[in-house]
Amino acid sequence: MNEITLRTVQFDSPSGKPIVADIRSIAGGSKKPIVLVLHGFKGFKDWGFFPFVSTELVKRGAISISINFSLNGYVVGSDKVENPEDFARNTISLEIEEVILTVSKILDSSFSEFSNRDGNVFLLGHSRGGGVALISAAKDRKRIQKTVVWNSIGTFERFTERQKKIWRETGTFQVENSRTHQTLGMNIDFLNDIESHSDEFSLLAAAKELDSSLLIIHGEQDMTVPVREAKKLAEQAGNIQLQIIPSTGHTFGITHPFEQTSAALNIALDYTCTFFGL
């Protein structure tokens, strides 16, 4: 096998901050599909299993592109939020827009690695990134052929009425990153965004729209996003595939920094690659 190359690129987002992307590929050979990998809430492209997964996708016959959403607050080379003011102003609308923008970059061969694509674009999203993948794929079905979500949320409405009341009164909602022990704020724009787009952002409706082009993979013991959310998504259409991996949780037993793969992660990868035809 030829050597896998990794190139980090940046391109403009409507946010005013760049989308940072890692493109992994192998030169030559047959035409290949592109898999766009999306991190979740408080996540980033270099967290835990993402570099490993992105590399494995290439070994199995894809070109992978793993992005940092422009307002995730991370900078290249750091594994904590360095720009909390960016994190605070992020919205779901922006992340969806950035996915569709990245797909456009892929299809117009903005970067040399994409010139060897076979025309197929697939999405792989984890946790909240799974929700963003669902909406993006449903909006852009002509250009996105297949979607896989790992431990995806089943709804963006994850806040109690009391939390929303305090959020509106103070203008911010605080969350803790248990890994870095940072307290991070989310502006009221985030809440306004998901409430004003409640129908458009329905993950149940998106799953129904995607039907057979969607694979849902979920850890049976996920304590962050209960497996019932995956089952509810899968119930929306008769041809949605659902794979529940027993005895594992939200990150398939992987922590950051990454040390080694796990049996559960390998199973998730195998299901994913089979679905993508790799």
CA distance 164 to 177: 20
Instruction: Flag whether pLDDT at 123 surpasses 70.
Output: yes
Name the residue among 74, 99, 102, 101 with its Cα closest to residue 86: 74
Cα 27 to Cα 47: distance, rounded to the nearest angstrom: 26
What's the DSSP call for residue 237?
A: S
Q: What structural domains and CATH numbers belong to the chain?
A: 4-157+198-276 (3.40.50.1820)
Please give the mean pLDDT across all residues of the chain: 97
Task: With H, G, I as helix, E, B as strand and everything else as coil, classify residue 249.
Answer: coil
Using DSSP, state whether 41 is helix, strand or coil.
coil
Percent of the chain with pLDDT over 70: 100
| Predicted pLDDT of residue 185 | 98
Residue-wise pLDDT for 34-59, tens only, equals 999 999 999 999 999 999 999 999 99
